[in-house]
Amino acid sequence: MGTLDGKTCIVTGGAGSLGLAAARLFLAEGANVALVDLAPQALAQAAADLPAERVELIEADVSNAGDAARYAKRTVQRFGPVDVLFSNAGNFGTVSSIKDYPEDVFDAVQAVHVKGAFLAAKFVVPVMRDGGSIVITSSVAGVRGDAGVYAYITAKHAQVGLMRCLAKELAPRGIRVNTIHPGPIDNGFQLAVEQGLGAAIGADGTEFFNRIIPLGRHGRPEEVAKSVLYLASDQSSFVTGTTLMVDGGMSV
């Protein structure tokens, strides 16, 4: 018997490595999963080997209110009320001095991370069962600061504030709300981050991160997904309003 038997889960950023790893775990634990992503082709490829009878693929822009309302409605129509929302969609932006940081890039990053998580809660909470769980993907960047990473770090801090507000409001319904804070993950998203950082600092971005992670390596999507499953399931039944670090000690 799985820890999520018969439960309905929404995963935004579902075509990415962490979203897909979490979806696989949710399915293995008995859940039905709506995978939401902006890129339909990538989403279809990512889900090619998943059980179609328990997966709904939804193309959506998480920063658009109409799209958020639509993915919430489609999920309920297919599987019933929502038990787990994994708000995981993200983009990075760029690394630049404050005087040169592009305003449009800053706005685009806030739109996906902050407004996207806000809209997910706004439209999913009304169709969520009492006792459910919301997990928002923040980052180790959500508890620290680094010069030049203005859009991403600001957005990741903002998600923590959103989480704490939701945790207070939804506690009477038994809905738990937490953020998960991965460190660098071995995936394409992180590689793009490190390439940008490397260009800015004139050094290998991947090696730079490995040197400042006490465990000395990047995490794997599957490792982080196990912590997402913990927060999504009743294993964390008395955990809400928390920032769970899954960063190899980078925040220490």
Active site residues: 152
What's the CA gap between 52 and 84, in Å, rounded?
19
CB–CB of 13/34 below 8 Å? Answer: no
CB atoms inside a 10 Å sphere around CB 11: 30
Q: Which residues contact 233 (CB under 8 A, 6 or more apart)?
A: 3, 4, 29, 133
As given in the structure block, the two tokens for residue 60 are 């959506």
C-alpha distances (whole Å) from 247 to each of 9, 143, 179, 220, 251 are 25, 11, 13, 10, 7
Residue 243, class by beta-carbon neighbours within 10 Å (0-12 exposed, 13-18 middle, 19+ buried)? middle
Q: Which residues contact 33 (CB under 8 A, 6 or more apart)?
A: 9, 10, 11, 23, 26, 27, 50, 54, 55, 56
Q: Which ranges in 51-134 belong to alpha helices (H)?
A: 65-79, 103-110, 116-124
